[in-house]
Amino acid sequence: MAETERPQIYLVTPHSFDPEAFAPELARILDSVEIACVRLASASEDESELARAADACREVAHARDVPLVIERHIALVERLGLDGVHLTDGARSVRATRKALGGDAILGSYCAASRHDGLVAGEAGADYISFGPVGETGLGDGTRAERDLFAWWSQMIELPVVAEGALDVELIAEFAPVVDFFALGAEIWRADDPVAVLKDLLKPLG
């Protein structure tokens, strides 16, 4: 992407939430900040819980023409009227998922810090590649997706690239010239006022 373009914001839901309480919070964010896409990242493996969460988020997001994708659960995309899926296993299931969902569904692939996985996922039909974590986190093996990876990708590859994981104001300012999207979620949900925290994080983008 051109260095003058402003990265878009990709909102990631909490891993656990009460759909009735979360829906107005999500609406407030979408009405306050321009959001390109919402990812339902519920950690639940209960289909009825996921359906309730998806219904609440879909109603809010689609009323504002914001697409909603679900993390991992490919089989629920069509059943719940969602726009696509965010895969978390690198390139492994991209080709089969694209075949299952067809060409219109949004298909994203989280590839940690692996340029190779990103390239393979893109060739297999992913619509975007997500790398992370960008910041310091105690999760995973501690490997970070460095700026050089995003700089190379944005210069060489046309497929949109998403930066996520432990982002802060400094990292957003540093990575803005070399990413298409910032995925933000955990960074804001712990706060009493997620909208205020999100706006503070986005100040470097102008």
pLDDT at 141: 78
Q: Residue 102 half-sphere exposure, CB side, CA atoms within 13 Å?
A: 5
Residue range 125-145: average pLDDT? 91
Q: With a cut of 90, say whether residue 187 has pLDDT above it.
A: yes
All structural domains of the chain with their residue ranges: 8-205
- Give the model's pLDDT for residue 1: 30
pLDDT greater than 60 at residue 3? no
**Confidence check: pLDDT of 4 > 70:** no
Residue 2, pLDDT > 50, answer no
Selecting from 4.10.1240.10, 3.40.50.620, 3.40.50.720, 3.20.20.70, what CATH number does the domain 8-205 have? Answer: 3.20.20.70
How many percent of the chain have pLDDT more than 70?
98
Q: What is the pLDDT of residues 8-55, one digit of tens each?
A: 999 999 999 999 999 999 999 999 999 999 999 999 999 999 999 999
Sign of the CA dihedral running 95, 96, 99, 101: negative
pLDDT for residue 179: 98
| Statement: the pTM of the whole predicted model exceeds 0.85 | yes
Give the model confidence (pLDDT) of 69-112 as tens digits: 999 999 999 999 999 999 999 999 999 999 999 999 999 999 99
Mean pLDDT on 189-196: 96
